[in-house]
Amino acid sequence: MAKKGKLDLLGVSAFCESMGMMIRSGIQLDEAISLFKQKDHKGGLLEDNIEVMEKCIAEGNSLKVAMEQCGIFPEYALKMIETGESTGKLEDVLFTLADYYEKQDVIVSKIRSALIYPLAMLVMIIIVLFIMLKAVLPSFSGVYTSLSGSLADSSYRYISYAYIFCRVVLIIMIILVALLIIGYLMYKGNGKRKVQNFLATNKTLASIMESLALYRFTSAYEVLLASGKMQDDALEEAKAMADYEPVEKKLEAVEAKMKEGNGFANAANEVELYEPIYGRMLIPGERSGNTDSVLSRLISLLAHSASSQLDNFINTIEPLLSGLLMLSIGIALLSLMLPLIGIMNSIG
């Protein structure tokens, strides 16, 4: 019985590349599907659904229908493969999709790290502060109180300050974690635009989101062109893949320019869809008939740019959160050591 679920991005990439190579070498569709079977039957989710695909192909259905039947492939891949089959460019589409999902996996991994690392650090800070408040500070407070009688009226009042500091920081950290979780749930739900607009108030995050949106759009645009779509049709369908309002508005401006008779390269350059250094690549490529190769190069540059920006963001957040953790512990420990120093001085 076939297992349900979704194939991961690298799995989709590997499947598309393998299918493209087998089709290129002249292997029939049904035979190509059967070659994915593993002798030990440990091929994972894809292996568990091969029989469904084989049966569907044997009944005379297309590759897109067979992939749709097993339900493990993303909707975008199904749509592109359907277009490739209808235009007779299935091989080209498969290889382009393989490259797209390979790059997409790298980007998604970066985004996941950018979200998980700060959340993990915040949780760690909360745990440390909770231990300080519930175990460390009360233990020292009890000892010092027995020596001085009152923390508020002695040099041991530093511990009271430590309590206040730790509680304030703990509340702030809990609020930040709650905001991250709420923001994630809103992003996955119906509040994606609101979350994007809030994040866009920060220039760094706005730049990252724009780079990711341009990467998604350009990748989809390349696949659609490879499948035989005309420029205006490809733009119309790929526009939804941007999924970021500022970029969508620029794409609408590009679309309007193209309706006036401009090609995509000129229109994109006029509305400054891409940074000038990237946008200028398209014009000579389009005029020389090498749009595919230029788009492929542009996608690689956009992926590298988005990846670098995410790395820089993570590298900025890491020392800030680590510093906050060390500062919290340092201030708390210093408040415990000052009374001890006072006792030692009085004994001496």
pTM comes to 0.74
Distances (CA, A) of 194 to 189, 197, 327: 11, 5, 33
User: Is the pLDDT at 238 greater than 60, yes or no?
Assistant: yes
Question: Of all residues in the chain, what percent carry a pLDDT higher than 70?
Answer: 89
Can you give the pLDDT at residue 1? 46
Res. 266 pLDDT band, cuts 50 70 90: confident
User: Is the pLDDT at 152 greater than 50, yes or no?
Assistant: no
- In sequence order, the 6+-apart residues with CB closer than 8 A to the CB of 96 are 80, 222, 223, 226
CA 26 to chain centroid = 37
In the numeric block, which tokens belong to residue 146? 């027995």
Res. 298 pLDDT band, cuts 50 70 90: confident
- Mean pLDDT along residues 271-293: 81
- In sequence order, the 6+-apart residues with CB closer than 8 A to the CB of 245 are 193, 196, 197
Can you give the pLDDT at residue 250? 92
Distances (CA, A) of 283 to 74, 216, 289: 32, 20, 10
Decide which of 144 and 281 is more confident: 281
> pLDDT tens digits for 184-230?
888 887 888 888 888 888 888 888 888 888 888 888 888 888 777 78
How deeply is 208 buried, as exposed, middle or buried, from its count of CB atoms within 10 A (0-12, 13-18, 19+)? buried
What is the C-alpha to C-alpha distance for residues 23 and 17, in angstroms, rounded to an integer?
A: 10
> pLDDT tens digits for 253-262?
999 988 888 8
User: Is the pLDDT at 346 greater than 60, yes or no?
Assistant: no
Is 332:125 a contact under the CB 8 Å cutoff?
A: no
Is 52:4 a contact under the CB 8 Å cutoff?
A: no
